[in-house]
Amino acid sequence: MKDNPDSYVTDDGRTIGPTVMEMKNITLRFGGVEAIKDISFDIREGEIRAIIGPNGAGKSSMLNVISGFYVPQEGEVWYKGAQRPPMKPYQVAQQGIARTFQNIALFEGMSVLDNVMTGRLTQMKSGLLAQSLWKGKAEREEVENREIAEKVIDFLEIQAIRKTPVARLPYGLKKRVELARALAAEPTILLLDEPMAGMNVEEKEDMSRFILDVNDEFGTTIALIEHDMGVVMDLSDRVVVMDYGRKIGDGSPHDVRNNQEVIDAYLGVAHE
């Protein structure tokens, strides 16, 4: 990434590479309702891209288009320089895109460790026969993957609840476990749908720290939907602003904050 002429280095020393994912003229309709109207933007390798906007703007729908849960009626998705044909969500996951969900979609019947291990499924190569026989390849792979899962658990500081069934955890911890599961897949792009929702200041600081650490240490590209403007300004390299399915702002946090249209639609003005 460093040798690429398209890359640049940020103020705090991180390298941001060329475009890894690009949405071109995406239009998404549900019957007569246009959830996304002709939106184009790109995500660069190694950056933290925030998608913001009022409720109902189409942000989660956009994330669903990126992760393959919705197929847009018009427009193209370009991934790693090639146009991505319409594909199922599990194929998108296999291509290196991991995500978390707004309302948490963990495997409630399993423990934290098991959930994180499911994140490794795309990286486990042994087939049905090898797994049935167990000895040899399958066992080695399981041990390797278990090590990686444990590292992720350590990284997010959830060792204490490794064996707890996820259904019993409070909301904030569930969000962290979901992040761990997404991280375990060693994704190229990490999609976070409102990772800070329902958290207090301390928890938000912890989560922000984790997100920054992930980006810093692993170079993971991150796209996140977030409502807390303080978090967005602090964390993100660039911001996309959506309103009623249209894009009304695209640029650095500073540019976006001073964009009149964005202020009118979403940010509002500080009261004197």
Q: Residue 56, interface with other proteins (CB under 8 A)?
A: no
Q: Residue 126, interface with other proteins (CB under 8 A)?
A: yes
Residue 127 vs 230, nearer CB to other proteins: 127
The single residue among 26, 106, 149, 207 that binds other proteins, judged by CB under 8 A, is 106
Q: Residue 156, interface with other proteins (CB under 8 A)?
A: no
The single residue among 54, 102, 107, 228 that binds other proteins, judged by CB under 8 A, is 107
The single residue among 16, 28, 77, 93 that binds other proteins, judged by CB under 8 A, is 93
Binding to other proteins by CB under 8 A, coded x per residue (else -) over 207-246, reads ----------------------------------------
* C-alpha dist (Å) from residue 119 to 4, 18, 65, 72, 206: 31, 27, 21, 26, 22
| Residues forming a β-bridge with 143 | none
- Give the Cα separation of 192 and 239 in Å (integer): 14
Residue 129 vs 201, nearer CB to other proteins: 129
The single residue among 74, 81, 167, 261 that binds other proteins, judged by CB under 8 A, is 167
Sheet with strand 238-243: strands edge to edge = 97-99, 189-193, 221-225, 48-52, 238-243, 246-251
Residue 161 DSSP class: G
Name, in order, each residue with C-beta under 8 angstroms of 148's C-beta and a sequence gap of 6 or more: 120, 123, 184, 186
The binding site for other proteins (CB under 8 A) comprises 67, 69, 88-90, 93-94, 98-99, 101, 105-110, 114, 117-119, 121-122, 124, 126, 128, 131-132, 134, 138, 141-142, 167-168, 181, 185
